[in-house]
Structure 1
Amino acid sequence: MNIARLVTALAATTLVLAVATPAHADESTSAPGTVTRPILSRAEAAPFVPRTYFGFSGEYEAPVADPWHPAPIVTPRRPDLLVGGHGFATVQEAVNAAYRAGGTERRFIGILPGVYPGTVFIPAGSPPLTLYGLGRPADVRLEFTVDATVTPAAWAALVNADGRYAEGDPAWPMFQSCATKTSATAGLCATVVWAQSTDLQLKGLTITNTLLDTVDRGTHQALALRTDADRTQLEGMRLISRQDTFLANADDVARIARVSVRDSYIEGDTDFVFGRAAAVFTATHFHLVSSRKASGGVIFAPNTAPNYPYGFLVTHCLITADDGYAAAPTGFLGRAWDQGASATGYLPGITPNGQLVIRDSLIGAGFNAVTPWAPAATTARPFAARIDDGRDLNDINYNRLYEYANGGRAHRIG
């Protein structure tokens, strides 16, 4: 599916619908919006484009101009390393081989159609890697069932039941960092694919945490993909889980990590796109499902550094909810993740303050048009935005979740 073309076509339809809609029915879609649904003006929206999100690297407190221009991912017909068929049996084995080969040249790992159970850890220090499917994304499947509620010891036994991680292996330190945790649960180690390497490219794969609807609607983090490093690219990917599907992370909390996601599909029900990275999502379909959690689902949960202006940018994307949300539009576009503030409450300038702009996108039925942003995760801080003249869009005392030039939703659920 060409999401960008679909959004453009449906946005044109939305304009037709808008002509027949009374002006007073959708006043909140004009700048500055309301305290519960802030809207950017054209001038305010101008900086929120990919080049600014990708323009800086280094420390949050002292960003360095370092433009990154991620080009479309080009893959060879014959990869350097093959998974499936007469190649490596697991993706992890191919990653280990690429790591041991070393060097600075990009290495291509092609994956034949099939189901590849188990986790994949891609350690820092790997050469630039491209992992890609040699078939339709839906047919090249990396899958595992792991729930964050298990203990670190239980996590280690589950993840390493086949002995894929051994002392001396490249990914052993990543495995050990989770297996030896002293916390009660495995937490964010509960992921199918975990990458700490810079300049990673993933293309044409489906990654699914198959926990899915086997648990109640409670807190069951079950990540499909976690990326921790700078200059990570995803293209033509399918990421599927329920809570916390994709963590676009910055493993070093002091440094910027940039992520580009294009032409992909991401599915979940709770905070299923979250993290600290400066991430741009283009022509991507986000789908909120009600099969496990019938109401109040949340898509985005950024935990951006409080004084850094660029967290998540969602542009020319499609945002939908399943039929379970159509009758009672209780879905939320997102909320801030006040990470680390459960004991103290939100501390302005210290606690992360999630930043997100959704612009030029199509938002389908099922979302709350009056209050599309939920109270913050961790602290339940009520959502509040500035709508005064000359407002500071990065005021640490307010939320930083905005819309600009979106279509679709208001004319469907009114």
Structure 2
Amino acid sequence: MRSDRFEATYLIETPLDPAKVAEVMAGEQSCGTFTRVHGETDDLRARARAVVERVEELEPAASPSLPNSWLERQKRPGPWRRARVTISFPTGNVGANLPTLAATVAGNLFDLGEVTGLRLDSVRLPAAYRKQFDAPRHGVAGTRRLTGVEHGALVGSIIKPNLGLSAEETGELVGTLCAAGLDFIKDDEICADPVHAPLAERVPAVMDRVRRHQDRTGKHVMVAFNISDETDAMRRHADLVEREGGSCVMVSLNWCGFSAVQTLRRHSGLALHGHRNGFGALSRHPSLGIGFDAYQTLWRLAGVDHMHVHGLQGKFAQPDAEVIDGATSCLAPLAEGCDDAVMPAFSSGQWAGTVPVTWDAVGTDDLLFMSGGGIMAHPDGPAAGVTSIRQAWAAVREGVALPDAAATRPELKRALEFFGAGK
């Protein structure tokens, strides 16, 4: 890859020649449009036009993935050809402007009349260009330092009930979870600044319990307070968390936007926990939207420290392969020589029994392993739930099957009996 260009790779579907469609895409997202226009000189095109680098034709589709009035007006039938297309763009077209970078690699492409399917799969940046954007302030190593967890997966949970608890009730629950032995606790994405537990009251109540626990044990439990809001409010809430001795805030990335998250990153030294809620609307159709590899690349340029990837054998719709690819992408550098890995956060239906598939899939414990029901619903209580997960991680690292490990680990045995019934 040239140092003055970045690349984006797409999956396209079209009844037209994919190579010609790729040229339309390149023109549309750089200096041109569907035809050459006045002022678009050869010199300008050499400096500013996107270039089609590769077109790899794939197996055709049996029918169009999406409706398309433009093609219908032209009475264009199939076959519906599919191809993987890579286009490079001059970095000078964008500069260090994340919203415009996103508009360049995605933007109007999804509306093109030439396609019946288009999905942004990946974005690749040269190292010098990547370094013009924000990097994680903490990432994997910093999160370990803040929590004091030098080795092993960080075990976390989500505050449940996710809505309805008062500030004081939330504080009491956090105290219980700290005593249970957690490394990490997070708000739910739909609980930010509710009337019954405003952050102005909830943050002091929660951090009072975190500080008490730290005084007793020396252990700082990281709490990701959901401060998703308009930009000025997020800055005020982050300041409150810092004043109270907190170490992390959570943001609903899709609804706050790139600019707000960049502003928050530059304003605060707290760890930024990136929650991807709503990502399914962008990604669930295989021929439309944005794949997680491209998605996590863009958000890492905003400086987040953690990224949600969902969980293996979890409660959501995506296949395990996507979860694995997502975690692998988060832990890989965005460009050669860049130390900018972010910590993948596994959640959704996770418990001791999903630890082996997680370990087998990613081969590392540089991750947040978050369990709600798998901890809070353990028949012997939350502390036993946390212990069962830690016992499962110890077993997989030792190469011991969970049923064998459970013979001498009662908390794990109870978890397998309780949660594993019928599985």
Higher-Rg member (1/2): 2
Q: TM-score by structure 1 length? A: 0.29
The structure in which a higher percent of residues are helix is 2
